[in-house]
A and B are shown apart, each in its own frame.
Chain A
Amino acid sequence: MSAAIVVSSVSHRYGERLALNDVSFDVAQGEIFGLLGPNGGGKSTLLKILSTLLPLQTGNIQFAGFNLASQADAIRHTLAVTFQHPSLDIKLTVGENLRHQGHLYGLSGQVLSTRIQKVMSQLNIADRERDYAETLSGGLKRRVEIAKCLLHNPAILLLDEPSTGLDPGARNDLWNVLAEVRQEENVTLLVTTHLMEEADRCDRLGILDHGQLIALGTPSEIRSTVGGNSITIDPLDMQQLASELQRLNIVFRQVGGEIRIEDVQSTSELTRIIDTYSQHFRSITLGKPSLEDAFIKLTGRRISEDTTDE
């Protein structure tokens, strides 16, 4: 498959601060590519550059063969962007929002009306055409936003943290919609996220931390870098349990108030800890490696605290 997006050696500075440091990756045609990373890791900067809102400082970006630096206008025709903050005009109805959007892309008359009906039924919002955007729930607003983006048949859809402000149900709906859209319209999707479960639904991932791409591959490839299963312990007294484990020569790390033992080869280790220290912890779990584990292994940190409540 040919590459829809080619990012090569892109760096970006805000004054002294290096927000992107020599980032390179390709996104294949029709792929869902995720950019995973903590807030402030460089995702938003990269997305702004890709969406032509920030000038490219160093490096090279190609969209479907167009060069970002010299052919921004051509790229804007093939591109659609949904921002973290929906770009709907809340004082207008859903239908009016779509119509104005169509006009921006030179669509009008019958062609536009047909497209509007098509995208509305695709995103299941046809019954909302006359509703004011300000009366819609977060999930519906996001759907309208995506409908707006699909009006002009873009080849590439960029989504910046698309599930911001959505509850888990709406988030799941959104991803089902994205999967359908990808299939029906053969759109290439690039999604930024800091949520592991979203990252897991992408075909391939790049992990951005401190402006650097620290991992690139399919979710399972990235997970497999962690090795075997891991044990997570929520201790009653971290200090005490840590010193006990040290005495048993068990290798572990402390992450955000928890103890993690990685690459566990057999369950005997688990039962040994349970038998010996049952009074020292609230919970103990054995899990297959997750993307979170991979991120922790790569950086020694959790990606963000708010992912634990999911």
Chain B
Amino acid sequence: MNESVVSATTPRPAWLLPIWSLAQREIVRFLRQRSRLIGAIGQPLIFWILFGAGLHGTFQLQGASANDVSFQEYFLPGVAIMIVLFTSIFASISVIQDRHEGFLQGVLVSPVPRSSIVLGKVLGGTLLALVQSALFLVLAPVLQLVGLAPAIQLNLTLAGAAGALLFLTLVAIGLNSLGYLFAWKIDSVQGYHGIMSVVLLPMWLMSGAFFPGDQSPWLHVIMRVNPLTYGVAGLRQCVSSNPSVVGDLPSIPLCLAVLFLFSLICLAADVWLTRRDQGV
């Protein structure tokens, strides 16, 4: 058989359809696990309220006066990013589960382009992260009405909301593709927990999500090279209208550029890895 006959008889593999199909599967699986649903939105809310109450009065931003910024106000975008982080972690753990349950093998022997497999996984995790974190950002300030949160100066403009969604999306794509990278190489959920503890959680802690960290020179350097810092900073500038909170964060264009580059590099690495050693 010569080459032209071969190419004529070979159907062109679909690209978008499998991406959407694989993403949809992630979402359906998530919705069917009720405990995941409760944990996903309940845990961050509890964290936010408890840390806010616990650190009340002891937290002071550099350069701001004592009662200018409450910890809960500072922590708000941090918790949203935490939701994105945890959703991405669970989404990428499913790569390991898919491998164990055999589902992944079934996908790998199909003619689906390897980039579709990666993008399907990442898109599913990104949509889940986006809905949950956006829901949190809408719900949390409402708690002011029942006394579980202090007054927060929100940037309630269309541009602010659109910017917030953009940053949440970029962070979600970045973290989901980073998680995929680890999950592809690690063959047990326990092993992935190790990576989560020493890489992903510290990455969040040192992103300005939980504390500003600008008092320590070495911490300051780490934060500057941590891509997640730019996600927190970008989101913070979009959701807050309090000048003391926004302070001297990296500019929005810089944040966008860093996150865009980070996501692109992780995605490219995912596709490269999936092409290289699919059967392992």
Contacts and interface: CB of A to CB of B under 8 A. Distances in A.
A and B: bona fide binding partners: yes
Contacts of B11: 77, 106
B109 A53 contact: yes
A222 B174 CA distance: 58
A76 interface: yes
A92 B29 contact: yes
Interface string A81-93: 1010111111110
A148 B106 contact: yes
Interface residues of A, number: 35
A20 to B, nearest CB: 15
22 contacts: A48-B279, A53-B109, A65-B6, A66-B1, A73-B111, A74-B10, A77-B13, A77-B111, A81-B105, A83-B106, A85-B102, A85-B105, A87-B102, A87-B105, A89-B25, A91-B28, A92-B25, A96-B28, A100-B21, A103-B14, A104-B110, A105-B14
B20 to A, nearest CB: 8
A106 B106 contact: no
B109 A100 contact: no
Nearest to A52: B109
A53 B279 contact: yes
Given A76-B111, A81-B109, A87-B105, A103 B29 contact: no
A250 B278 CA distance: 55
Contacts, number: 94
A71 B1 CA distance: 12
Contacts of A86: 102
Contact of A53 (B25, B32, B278): B278
A78 B22 CA distance: 22
A86 B102 CA distance: 6
Nearest to A72: B111
Interface of B: 1, 6, 9-14, 17-18, 20-22, 24-25, 28-29, 32-33, 101-112, 278-279
Contacts of B111: 73, 76-77, 104-106
**Interface of A (DSSP majority class):** loop
B43 to A, nearest CB: 22
A274 interface: no
Given A80-B109, A89-B101, A108-B17, 14 more contacts: A48-B279, A51-B109, A76-B109, A79-B109, A87-B101, A87-B105, A89-B29, A91-B28, A91-B29, A96-B28, A100-B22, A101-B106, A104-B107, A106-B14
Nearest to B3: A71
Among B24, B29, B102, max chain A CB count under 10 A is at B102
**Interface of B (DSSP majority class):** helix
Nearest to B278: A53
Contacts of B106: 81, 83, 87, 101, 148
Given A76-B111, A81-B109, A96-B28, A106 B13 contact: yes
A105 B102 contact: no
Nearest to B7: A74
Contacts of B12: 106
Nearest to A105: B110
A89 B105 contact: no
Interface in A96-127: 96, 99-101, 103-106, 108
**The 7 residue pairs across chains A and B that have the minimum distance between CB atoms:** A87-B106, A53-B279, A106-B14, A103-B21, A76-B111, A85-B102, A87-B102
Nearest to A160: B105
Contacts of B29: 89, 91-92
A81 B110 CA distance: 9
Contacts of A52: 108-109, 279
A94 to B, nearest CB: 14
Nearest to B279: A53
A83 B108 contact: no
A99 B20 CA distance: 12
A65 B102 CA distance: 29
A229 B9 CA distance: 51
Nearest to B100: A85
A214 interface: no
